[in-house]
Amino acid sequence: MKGTLKTICFIGVAAAMAASAHADDLLKPFILASNAPGSMAAKVAQTRAALQKEGFTIAGQFAPYPGATVICVTDAALKTDAGLSPMGGFGAAQHVALTQVGNSIQVSYTNPVYMANAYRMKKDLTGVAAKLKAALGDEKSYGAKGMTARQLRHYHYMFGMEYFTDPSKLATYPSHQAAVQAVEANLAAGKGGVTQVYQINMPGSQQTLFGVAMNAGANGNRDMDDHYIMSQIDFKPIKSTPYLPYEMLVDGTKVYALAARFRIAIDFPDLAMVGSHSFVNIMGAPAAIRDALATAARASGS
């Protein structure tokens, strides 16, 4: 009997250790760096300084709606790593968000290791993750129950929805330079309600990443609007503001965007399909986002 009890206890402990190890292997989309009282302006200045001290370049910054600021960063290693794989340029920037919730400012950022796997990059970006942790801290990862690296590399929300390898092709140009110049001009003009947040060129490859803000304005389609979309799906106490901004990638002569049914789902993988605060609330977003980005990518007069 004693031997049986010892065996049962051993099996129980081993199972618990295996479950804990498995949980440690699960990756989540965002990392909460800190959550404390303070002013937005002061926190933004402190955050920018901390990022630059660790060697990051501030590629761009914007306020998508009141109470939120997003700082987009990159560095030489990240740009090089992004250029090593097909469409790896989508991972050339990391997003750091400051969100006011009550009297506190939540500082959070995209999880580089999660994104490296979701975007099927050759490097796992653990070095970038370490630099972000050194700059800002790491209280906990959040935003989903979590997935393994393998699950992320084959992710789609459900049957019939797009994978990472099913991007929307927005436009084609005779050269990479022509494509970049056209997108720059269209974003400067705010075509489709889309404007530039940042531009990153990957060395040694013909990949240029644009981070873009989407604002429907008074008479536009709210289904493409950053604020509207987030008001419907970003409802939990710890905010997922680092989801923003959306991206457009000029890869060679073509302009792409990740399909919204992948791009939104990869940052909100646990969001229900139906019910309050679900994908049903933004059913029109995938088509509206694609149309807006296509307008921003299209050659003048076409």
Mean pLDDT computed over every residue of the chain: 92
Distance CA 30, CA 23 (A): 16
Beta strand pairing status for 68-74 and 207-214? unpaired
Q: What does the pLDDT average to over 42-55? A: 98
Q: Does domain 25-297 have CATH number 3.90.1150.10?
A: no
Q: Do residues 193 and 229 lie in contact, with contact meaning Cβ atoms separated by under 8 Å?
A: no
AA identity, residue 295? T
Question: Which range is least confidently modeled, 61-75, 99-113, 264-278, 280-294?
Answer: 264-278
The pLDDT assigned to 106 comes to 98
What are the E-state strand segments in the chain?
30-37, 57-65, 68-74, 94-101, 104-110, 140-142, 168-172, 194-201, 207-214, 246-251, 254-257
Distance CA 50, CA 125 (A): 19
pLDDT(32) > 60? yes
From first CA to last CA, the distance across the chain in angstroms is 82
Distance CA 262, CA 265 (A): 5
Q: Which structure tokens are listed for 120? A: 């099927």
Map tokens 């590399």 to a residue.
153
Q: Do residues 194 and 291 lie in contact, with contact meaning Cβ atoms separated by under 8 Å?
A: no
pLDDT(291) > 70? yes
| 262-288 pLDDT tens trace | 999 999 999 999 888 888 999 999 999
Q: What is the pTM of this model?
A: 0.90
* Closest among 159, 166, 152 to 120, alpha carbons compared: 152
Domain limits, the chain: 25-297
The pLDDT assigned to 302 comes to 56
pLDDT band at 7 (very low <50, low <70, confident <90, very high): very low
User: DSSP H helical segments within 191-242, as ranges?
Assistant: 226-233
**Sign of torsion over alpha carbons 125, 126, 132, 138:** positive
pLDDT(259) > 80? yes
Distance CA 95, CA 214 (A): 16
Q: What does the pLDDT average to over 167-189? A: 97
The pLDDT assigned to 6 comes to 41
Q: What is the CA radius of gyration of the chain?
A: 20
The pLDDT assigned to 218 comes to 87
The pLDDT assigned to 273 comes to 92
Q: What does the pLDDT average to over 42-50? A: 98
| 197-228 pLDDT tens trace | 999 999 888 999 999 999 999 889 999 999 99
